[in-house]
Amino acid sequence: MPGLKGYRFSVVWLLAVAAAAGCSARVPAPATTRAVPVAVPQKAPCPPVVLLTAFEPFAGLETNTSWEVAKRLAGERVAGHEIVVVGLPVVWERARAKLGEAVKQHEPEAAISMGVGWSGYIEVERVARNARGPHKDNRGLLPPAREVEPGGPAEIETRLPTTQIVERLKELGLPVRPSDSAGKYLCNEAFYSVLRATGDGTPAGFIHLPRAGPDRARRPTRSEMEAGPVAVEGLARGIRAAIEDALGARQMSPQSSARQ
């Protein structure tokens, strides 16, 4: 079972990053017991956040392309927004809980969850479903329930501008297509969860990335060979473009930025 320590971020680390960036961190001020005047240097507030989540390796993969892409984008600025990356474990319930905590902490202006697939294409998912399949997670355990959220909506449409993103990534020369099925594993769970955790006015959704690197080179599927080669750097450029389009959609009215 792959270790998770590569995905754990401490409060101390977050404060250090905020200090280095010259902005005030989103953490409560410590309580004081005496009214002692202290000169506190004024810092600009932290920039608004775009939340980007990705998964650890699973199913025998050496790496997870979504995480490799996320690492390359962590801390970048897009249209005045900072990309904050959060790694998710391939573990039923835990992935959903960690994603929800990240949304509460960062209050993102946009949120994109990513995962890896074997189709060879970047797939911009359009519909999240409140369903889990009988698939074992990285602990070797089946899901504790058939639904992601008992009693929740059966389906939720993405809040990403799907058509716009697909066309933009095609212009970048990337193999991309829309998809109406994110499966019934942790990717669909993250998709459903990010839509439930964020507000209706927040662009949010899920993008499947094709495998890149040694796992694909070792044993490519027929679909991957038909789609053509991809590199992590190119996929990172594509996700950055998707973030730009998502932030652009946020500036539109709820009617004009409706699900595509």
Band of pLDDT at residue 2, cut at 50, 70 and 90: very low
Band of pLDDT at residue 253, cut at 50, 70 and 90: very low
Tens-place pLDDT, residues 167-201: 999 999 999 999 999 999 999 999 999 999 999 99
3-state class (DSSP) for residue 31: coil
Structural domains for the chain: 51-250 (3.40.630.20)
Q: Does residue 48 register a pLDDT over 50? A: yes
Are 42 and 63 in contact, with CB atoms under 8 Å apart? no
Provide the pLDDT for residue 247: 96
Distance linking the first and last C-alpha atoms of the chain = 38
Which residues are the active-site residues? 125, 187, 208
Tell me which residue of 131, 111, 112, 110 sits closest to 251, measured CA to CA.
110
Torsion angle in degrees (nearest 10) through CA of 166, 168, 170, 173: -140
**164: which 2 tokens?**
């716009």
Sequence-distant (6+) residues with CB within 8 A of 62 are 213, 214, 215
Provide the pLDDT for residue 219: 83
Tens-place pLDDT, residues 215-250: 787 888 899 898 888 999 999 999 999 999 999 976
Tens-place pLDDT, residues 196-209: 999 999 999 999 99
Provide the pLDDT for residue 46: 87
Provide the pLDDT for residue 214: 81
* Residue-by-residue DSSP string for 50-94: EEEEEE---TT-S--HHHHHHHHHTT-EETTEEEEEEEE-SSTTH
Tens-place pLDDT, residues 6-21: 444 333 334 334 444 4
Strand stretches in the chain, DSSP E: 23-24, 44-45, 49-55, 77-78, 81-88, 110-117, 122-125, 127-129, 155-157, 176-179, 204-210
Provide the pLDDT for residue 23: 66
Give start and end residues of each alpha helix (H) in 74-151. 94-106
Q: Kindly report the average pLDDT of the chain as a whole number.
A: 85
Question: Global pTM?
Answer: 0.81
Mean pLDDT over 76-88 rounds to 97
Cα separation, 85 vs 159, whole angstroms: 19
Cα separation, 28 vs 132, whole angstroms: 37
What angle separates helix 94-106 from helix 186-197, to the nearest 10 degrees? Answer: 30
Tens-place pLDDT, residues 109-155: 999 999 999 999 999 999 999 999 999 999 999 999 999 999 999 99
The three-point CA angle 127-129-133 to 5° equals: 130
Q: Does residue 28 register a pLDDT over 60? A: no
